[in-house]
Each structure stands twice: as structure tokens, then as C-alpha cells.
Amino acid sequence: MNKVNRPKRIVIIGAVAAGTSAAAKARRNDEEAEIVIYEMDEHISYSGCGLPYYIGGKVANLEALTPRDPKFFRDKYEVDILIRHKVLSVDPAAKTLVIQNLATGETFADRYDVLVLSTGATSMIPPIPGVDLPHVFTLRNPLSARTIRTFIEEHQPKTAAVVGSGFIGLEMVENLVDAGILVSVVEKLPQVCPFVDPDLAPYVEETLVKKNVTVLTGVAATEIWPGSVNLDDGSTVDADLVILAVGVRPNTTLARDMGVVVGSTGAIAVNTRMQTNLPDVYACGDCAETFSIIDGRPLYRPLGSTANKMGRIAGDILTGGSLAFRGIAGTGIFKLFDHTIAASGLTEKQARDSGYDIVISHNIKPDKPEYFGGREMVIKAIADRKTEKLLGVQIVGYEGVDKRMDVFVTAMTAGLGVSDLFHLDLAYAPPFATTKDPILYTGMILDNALHRGRDIITADDLMATDPAEIQVVDARVAKQYQEHHVDHAVSMPHGSLREQMAALDKDKPVVTYCNKGTTGNAAQNILINHGFRKVYNLSGGHKQYKACKKCHEKKQ
């Protein structure tokens, strides 16, 4: 066959989520192309997301997470996957690669017409002594999961330290606790779970503490010893096992060496067609940069959901398709014991740093009626006052968090305004939701703040306000006020507010609150209707105030 008629040769580097998605889509579009994947690991197309549950024994066999082998891809897609083959270098001018067979040590050359970089990411390792000790692990692939599980079975550790409290760290905490191990979490930042804002982190911390997990925030690990970890405040935690979960970085060495440009996030820069700066070189998955649908900025979110999407788009484009990447909100979700934690879009800090004029609501509602076992979730929503669109949402709750988050993400993706949320015709029956779903309530709170003069103030902003400049009204029953109340608050229960409000100055701003916000809003309405000039309802009420107070106390 001469060169002109020769089938296109597509070479892909990396065979997990992005690489295999690219290959499968390319094959669906093109029966003729030669498709080859080089993968230096022995496992391919696995569920990295299930690995913590394999370690904890909830997934019995590693095979359940690694259901596909090269034969599957050969038989189903006519794709050749060469495992334990590492691509050492690429010459983009000659369109050639040098590969090493890791089993034999032999190196050889190959050629490509189109190259896909799906080299993924690597767990970061803090630069401290002791990280290479035999009881210290990172978790990235099936081999690392098997090594950790074998270590636990053979050594029966009684204590563990998880360094880093991102979602992988916390999923590991749950699985180690369930395996009967006493766990400490070491987090350099002042809060656990940096995935959410500081004012939601106390709910996550509370969940950990209830499970007897020692939570150490604002401290960094400085040295690891057999049986313990030293921290930078001079203390030590016991640890027969150490999991390092301090984040991942994109694998870009090969790409940089061949002249591929990386973006501001440190991952490979691609356009919406997954093309890099070099002709016929694509990149997708955890090695590549994406962009935010909220503000268009470059974003690095190494997640399986995005990697699969990017891989499919790369596979489509390189075989003549027309798919285009539309960006991501940056949605993530994970389970922590009986809790679910989800976040999407901008955090409060990111929104403020970007210069948005924001309104924030903390909406605390059960996922379904209490008579059906409904339990509260806290929904923090951040909206732009100018466009009235959601910028970000974070939810901590028990059940039904995934459903709410997915609706919010859909709303953000579709560019709905906050007032549209109330009008969504969401599914309702008592086993699933409340008549007005928590999503509708969030929309109502934000809409009332933006259009009906029912302003909201966050506990953070209240604490930063000079007490002399504001009047704070506790609208709960007197007994609740006596048990605990917001600093400087006076007790004026909702039922007697009309009689008592003469004691307040109508021209001075007032903040009303109740336990979670609803009665606080009723008190706010009364005061506004009686001519008070500026009345705020405390976002999330006393419950959110207490959470916030906790995080302020931690900072001191």
C-alpha cells in the first residue's frame, strides 16, 4: 500500500479514562484507522474512583474495577493496547516515537499520523523525609491500591495518618475507619476539605469527629518515621500506615520535551477540539487543561467525568468529527460516611477575587419530609448580583445531595437566572423531596434578596461588622436564645416581635435570625412592613452562625 492510501495511524499514550475513550470513539467513526495505545502500567481502562472502596473491602476484588484488558479492546474495537510500554520521547517533526518495553527493557521506534497525549496525572509527594518508608503510600492506580490493601492485611495497622483532606484523602479516611483503624487527618490549610468554603468545612469536620477521627488542621507533616508522623507545630501523630493525598499534578514532561505548550494551570493547553499547539497532536484527560463555563478561565480539574468527555471529543475530532468541548463547571462530589459533599463553580473566595458583586445564601432544608426520614442539607449558593446567575454551589448533606447538585449544575450550564429556579417543575413525592424542593427555596431566597428587598447577610459579614453599627434580633423562642445566641443579639421571639420592636431603632440596620432562616425571614418581613429601613436576614440562621464561629475560633 502506498503512503497516500495507507490507513491513518493513530497513536495514543495512556490507556485509562481519556486514552481509551479517544480510541473507542475514533474506532466508532473510522473503521480503517490503525489505532495503537502505549500504556506503561499493567492495568488499563480501570475505575480509579473505586480504588478507596477496594482498600476498605467494599469492593471485594480488584478485577471488578479493572474489567477490561487489551484483548477486550482488540476484539471489540480492533485497538492494540501495549501494556508495560513506556513512550520515552516523541519527535513531532518526523512524527515518530521511541518506546521502551518495560518487561524486556528493549526500545523501538514507531510512527504516527495523529498523536493523542492522555498521559494523566501523578500523585504529588511532599518533599519531606520518610516518604519512601514501606508504610507510606499514595493512591493512584490499581497497583497502588493492591499494595495498600496487602499492607493492611499483612501488618494490621492500628493507626493511620492521612496527609491531605481533599476528596481522595477523605475517601481513604472513611475506608480506613471502616477497616477498624484509628485515623488522624493532617491538613496544612486551616480547614478540612478545601473543596468547600471555610464556612461549610465545620460540617465535614463534625462528621469526621463523630467517627473518632483526629482532625489536625493548619499543620503540615514535616517528617515520617516508622509508627509516627512529625508535624510542624512540634507535635507527633501515631501512624502505622501513612497515606499521602496532597493532590495530583499533570504528567507533562513528555509533552514539554516535544514542544507542546502548557497553560497557566500547568496542564497541557488545548482548544475546544483538544488540539495542542502542534499539528496532529491532541491532548485530553488529567494531563490537559480545561476552562470554566462560569468565567471562561483556564481550569485544571483532574476528574474521570471530564477525562472521559475530553477523550471522546479528541477521538471524534481526529477522525473528522465535529464535537467541541464546552468547558466545565468544575463539579465534584464524594461520600464521607453517611454524608455527601458536592461543589461546583466558583467558591466564595474565587468569586470575590474575580471581582464579582455577590449575594450568598445558606439554605438549610431536609431532602424530603421528616416523616419520611428526611435529613437536612446545607446548600450554599453564590450568585452574581449583576447577571443574577449562579456562580457556584456547595452542598453538605446526607441523601439527595447529588440530585440537587446536578440540577444546580444544569442551571449554571444553561445560564438560568436565580429567579428561574423557583419555576422549575421538579419531581415531587414524599419519598423523594419536599413539596417545594430545597432548590426552589434557594432560588426564592436569592430572588427575594435581589428583587424584593429581603437582603441576606452571611455570618462572616455579620461578625466583621462593628456591633455598634447594627442591631441583631433573635426571633427564636426565649429558651433557645438563653441556650446560645449570636453575639450582641437581643431576644425578640417572632410571636411577640410586633410588641417588642419599639425598642429598636428604625433607621439603624437590623439583622434578624432564627435557627435556620425561615422564621428569621418572617421577622425580617414584619420589620420591613413596619418601616424599618434596612433589615437583613442571617443566611442559614443560628446553625450556620455556629458553624462559622467554629471556623473563626480555629483561625485564632
Ligand X SMILES: Cc1cc2nc3c(=O)[nH]c(=O)nc-3n(C[C@H](O)[C@H](O)[C@H](O)COP(=O)(O)OP(=O)(O)OC[C@H]3O[C@@H](n4cnc5c(N)ncnc54)[C@H](O)[C@@H]3O)c2cc1C
Residues acting as catalytic residues: 49
Listed in sequence order, the residues at least 6 apart from 266 whose beta carbon sits closer than 8 Å to its beta carbon are: 249, 250, 252, 300
Cβ atoms of 10 and 317 closer than 8 Å: no
Cell of 163: 496527609
Residue 542: closest CA among 468, 462, 446: 462
Least distance between ligand X and beta carbon 48 (Å): 3
- Which amino acid is located at 111 in the chain? R
Q: What binding mask, one character per residue, do residues 9-28 give for ligand X by CB under 6 A, x or -?
A: ----xx-xxxx---------
* 393-to-195, 291, 331 alpha-carbon distances in Å: 11, 18, 9
- Check residue 164 for interaction with ligand X (CB under 6 A): no
What sign has the CA pseudo-torsion 41, 45, 48, 50? Answer: negative
Q: What binding mask, one character per residue, do residues 303-342 give for ligand X by CB under 6 A, x or -?
A: xxx-x-----------------------------------
Cβ atoms of 475 and 512 closer than 8 Å: yes
**Contacts (CB under 6 A) with ligand X, residues 120-149:** 120-121, 139-140
The owner of cell 510500554 is 85
- Check residue 255 for interaction with ligand X (CB under 6 A): no
- Check residue 252 for interaction with ligand X (CB under 6 A): no
Least distance between ligand X and beta carbon 59 (Å): 12
For every residue of 311-377, DSSP letters joined together read HHHHHHHTTT-------B---EEEEETTEEEEEEE--HHHHHHTT--EEEEEEEEESS-GGGT--EE
Least distance between ligand X and beta carbon 168 (Å): 5
- Check residue 364 for interaction with ligand X (CB under 6 A): no
Q: CA 222, CA 216: separation in Å to the nearest integer? A: 14
- Check residue 30 for interaction with ligand X (CB under 6 A): no
**CB closer to ligand X, 303 vs 396:** 303
**CB closer to ligand X, 284 vs 407:** 284
Size of the site for ligand X (CB under 6 A): 32
- Check residue 49 for interaction with ligand X (CB under 6 A): yes
Least distance between ligand X and beta carbon 14 (Å): 3
Residue 288: closest CA among 323, 332, 316, 254: 254
What sign has the CA pseudo-torsion 307, 308, 310, 314? Answer: positive
Q: Which residue is nearest to ligand X (CB)?
A: 120
Instruction: Give the one residue of 30, 41, 174, 316 binding ligand X; rule: CB under 6 A.
Output: 41
**CB closer to ligand X, 305 vs 500:** 305
Instruction: Give the one residue of 164, 169, 285, 438 binding ligand X; rule: CB under 6 A.
Output: 285
Q: Which positions lie near ligand X, rule CB under 6 A?
A: 13-14, 16-19, 38-41, 48-49, 51-52, 86-87, 118-121, 139-140, 168, 251, 254, 285-286, 302-305, 307
